[in-house]
A and B are shown apart, each in its own frame.
Chain A
Amino acid sequence: MLYIKCPHCGLRPQTEFSYGGDATVKRPELNKEISDQDWDNFVYLRKSPRGKHLELWQHISGCRQWIKVERDTLTHEIFTTYKASENI
């Protein structure tokens, strides 16, 4: 069982959370000319690193807020958690 510290609610088991994927992927800006390659990068291409990974989780059975979690994909160690609005 992973234990994730929700920045709003405190330490909770992973079963309260839902995964949201890579948090570093940025949606291209609206109303701008975007190349196909930029869309490709956003929709399909992923680094999926072995080691530290910044990812989105939603505290779906708790406060329902989206949060960012810095986790090691090899050891499952969780280093830091942030509110979704926090710039890192």
Chain B
Amino acid sequence: MQKYSVFSLIKNAFTGHKDWEVAWKDPAPKAEYDVIIIGGGGHGLATAYYLAKEHNITKVAIIEKGWIGGGNVGRNTTIIRSNYMHDENGLFSEFGMDLWRNMSLDLNFNVMFSPRGIINLAHSDAQMNAYSRRGNSMRLNGIDAVLLNREEVKKIIPMADFSENVRFPIFGGLMQPSAGTARHDAVAWGYARQADSMGVDIIQNCEVTGFDVVNGKILGIRTSKGEIKAKKIGLCVAGSTNVLAEKLNMTLPIETHLLQACVSEPIKPILDHVVTFGAGHFYCSQSDKGEMVMGGDLDGYNSYAQRGNLPTLQHVLTEGIAMFPFLSKLKMLRTWGGIMDMSMDGSPIIDKTHIEGLYLNCGWCYGGFKATPASGWTFAHTIAQDKPHKLNEGYSLNRFSTGHLIDEKGLGTKTWIS
């Protein structure tokens, strides 16, 4: 594989940039693989990469219905954080933070990781107490957390509404300075390029139509490009998990819901952190191009539509304007939607299934992007070793029946309430 560097850039400039190698190939599927990963999104591509890199398993195919990076890895608001209270989520995400910090070097691809810090605003004494507890839990797990009072928040984001007579005055906030953003497409492309160079077949425009399961053991898949055999198969399909589960006669603790995001017209630099509104569900950052990147609540009903309705967008942006009044002056540039695999406790599932050789990675709710490297790393381990890693032991499929839920937000099973 051609290494990307300033030297390769200069070298290729002499030939008018016409001789760059393709970043990944477009192979036809082989008859058999050691491992098939279904879903060419961030998590699937990362899983294939870590299977090859960490476990030396390179006879791997990624099967993608559309094109790689066309789903949620290209539709999110690019926020990366590990500000969780529960040990399972905190330790898993903080492991991911280390992978994020090294990702550009590791993948030889600039993912533009920008650890600019995230601030969760608090709007009451009770919320300050809750953030204090969460911050302490984070620090016990080795994650950086700083509790900010109103004045400290005002120094960092003076453009927020600090007037006295507002419905939700800012009392302070919890900050994770090491959190940030990254360029989401580059994450998908970087993993794809490295996985391809180590022998992984990335097969796009190939839909899975069925599974061959005999005596409780997976033997292969049926696709729009023919049958493919495999000893092990990993599902990494986020919002389409229930659709494939139905083909496997499985019912999962997952509902598929619609989440929207939007960006404003680009403006001059004003916001150099990620900020979330604490009295509702709204988050905002400014992209390198200057656009305000915003998101919030689910649309609130089961959906596979990948496009949203305006009432939710209006609701979310009303919260945004309550937090940052200047947003009301901006024109909207783009809005879009993606479908979320909402689990019944808000935490993911990375586990084996009752079918031998079939592995499940789903339930990422709104938080899939930041988990991309840790999810791929632990899922690759789970597949290669046929048992979960310590980091994803808590993300078991049977925790719902055994009662070992990881309900970070305390929302229970009504996933559409946020």
Contact = CB atoms under 8 A, between A and B. Distances in A.
A73 B253 contact: no
B300 A46 contact: no
Given A21-B416, A37-B401, A44-B413, A1 B309 contact: yes
- Which of B240, B254, B303, B344 counts the most A-chain CB atoms under 10 A from its CB? B303
A59 interface: no
Nearest to B251: A45
Contacts of A46: 242, 251-255, 344
A21 B257 CA distance: 11
A55 B303 CA distance: 12
A49 B300 contact: no
Given A1-B311, A37-B401, A49-B246, A74 B254 contact: no
Nearest to B301: A19
B355 to A, nearest CB: 16
Interface in A1-39: 1-2, 13-15, 19, 21-22, 36-37
Interface residues of A, number: 27
B414 A21 contact: yes
Contacts of A55: 301-302
Contacts of A1: 309-311
B256 A73 contact: yes
B302 to A, nearest CB: 5
B267 interface: no
Nearest to A14: B311
B311 A47 contact: no
Interface in A39-61: 40-41, 43-50, 53, 55
- Which of B253, B304, B310 counts the most A-chain CB atoms under 10 A from its CB? B304
Interface in B295-315: 300-305, 309-311
A36 B311 contact: no
A73 B311 contact: no
A47 B243 CA distance: 9
A44 B343 CA distance: 9
B400 interface: yes
Nearest to A41: B251
Contact of A47 (B251, B301, B304): B251
A50 B254 contact: no
A22 B254 CA distance: 12
A18 to B, nearest CB: 8
Contacts of B252: 45-46
Contacts of A73: 256, 302-305
Contacts of B254: 46, 48
A64 interface: no
A73 B307 CA distance: 11
A58 to B, nearest CB: 12
Interface of B: 240, 242-243, 246, 251-256, 300-305, 309-311, 344, 400-401, 413-414, 416
7 contacts: A21-B255, A21-B302, A44-B400, A49-B246, A50-B242, A74-B303, A74-B304
Given A14-B309, A41-B251, 14 more contacts: A13-B311, A14-B311, A19-B301, A21-B414, A22-B302, A43-B413, A44-B344, A45-B252, A46-B251, A46-B254, A48-B242, A48-B302, A49-B242, A76-B305
